[in-house]
Amino acid sequence: MKQWEMAKNNPDPRIRFFLGDVRDRDRLSRAFFGVNYVVHAAALKIVPSAEYDPFETVKTNIIGAMNVIDVAIDRNIEKLVALSTDKACLPINLYGGSKLVSDKLFISGNQYSRPESTKFAVVRYGNVMGSRGSIIPLFRSQISQGFVTITDERMTRFMVTLQQGIETVVLAFQDMQGGEMYVKKVPSMKIVDVVSAMDDTVELRVIGIRPGEKLHEQMISKEDAAYTFEYEDYYKIIPATVSSEIAKARTKGAKPVHDGFYYSSDQNPDWMPKDRICRWLEENESTHS
């Protein structure tokens, strides 16, 4: 249905839609024919579903990533950007663990590929506002019932608009030389403030943290700090395998982060209070409907 809707709304003859699966190498090979750039966004991403069906999650998020890397090299794709998630930083659930493996596969794909062949990079960001399985559509459906369920009143999350995510992918394509991870600077929100911005009279029901869920998310860990460089709007993590001279050449205009730095949703200097969330919802939610 999603493919059919996209094809109906995008009649441009340059756009082709393929039904397929990243688990199917032959179908990937057909889809990649004549292509220069690839954005890899396929994943099984619902945390409880990944805990219940771990084999299926591994097949898509890890084996699928390996297939994408192999076929991209075979088809001489110029550049490939893989999408990551804050769940992949210090993961405590299977989804996050599978995406961490996927990230490392794509970064290492640059050693797997020939120097003059396919370049791989990763873009990591937080929750995409209004995307399938995210909290905002869930809260919308619950508000009509007179209550909203939250797992913990202290919980915080990074939140990014679809447009911000797209802009970071474009940045990666323009800047990448192979092996970089790009982390967009985005605001943090308290989950209770999101609910209040949507309806400040609705009943809150605290149901407790689910298996594999964190109170706060990180996108850059302390262990990454030695390889992380800060720009005005984003951070760039350089592969640990490159020399200091190469790292310096790749990070012109940036400054290294301080020792022990980490980027966490509860320690983020950029916070969205309730009034700002209200404006943000009005401006951006229609984009994802």
The proportion of the chain whose per-residue pLDDT surpasses 90, expressed as a percent, equals: 69
Residue 146 within any structural domain of the chain: no
Lowest-confidence segment of 82-86, 238-242, 259-263 by average pLDDT = 238-242
Residue 137 within any structural domain of the chain: no
Q: What confidence tens digit (pLDDT) does each residue in 190-211 have?
A: 999 999 999 989 999 999 988 7
Mean pLDDT to the nearest integer, 94-111: 96
Q: What confidence tens digit (pLDDT) does each residue in 111-130 have?
A: 988 878 999 999 999 888 76
**59 catalytic residue (yes or no):** no
Looking up residue 100, the CATH number of its domain turns out to be 3.40.50.720
Read off the tokens for 244.
């200091």
Residue 204 Cα distances to 62, 68, 196, 243, angstroms: 37, 43, 10, 52
Contacts 24+ apart (CB under 8 A), 106-115: 106/40, 106/65, 106/69, 106/80, 106/82, 107/179, 107/181, 107/239, 109/69, 109/72, 109/73, 109/80, 110/178, 110/179, 110/239, 111/241, 112/69, 112/73, 113/73, 114/73
| pLDDT recorded at residue 288 | 45
**Count of domains forming the chain:** 1
- pTM > 0.75: yes
What is the residue-averaged pLDDT of the chain? 91
Of 87, 185, 214, 236, which residue is the catalytic one?
87
Residue 287 within any structural domain of the chain: no
Higher pLDDT pick, 11 / 71: 71
How many CB atoms lie under 10 A from the CB of residue 22? 22
Residue 210 within any structural domain of the chain: no
| pLDDT recorded at residue 289 | 43
Residue 274 within any structural domain of the chain: no
Closest CA to 154 of 215, 99, 95: 215
Residue 195 within any structural domain of the chain: no
Domain limits for position 110? 2-127+158-185+216-264
Residue 140 within any structural domain of the chain: no
pLDDT surpasses 50 at 24: yes
Residue 46 within any structural domain of the chain: yes
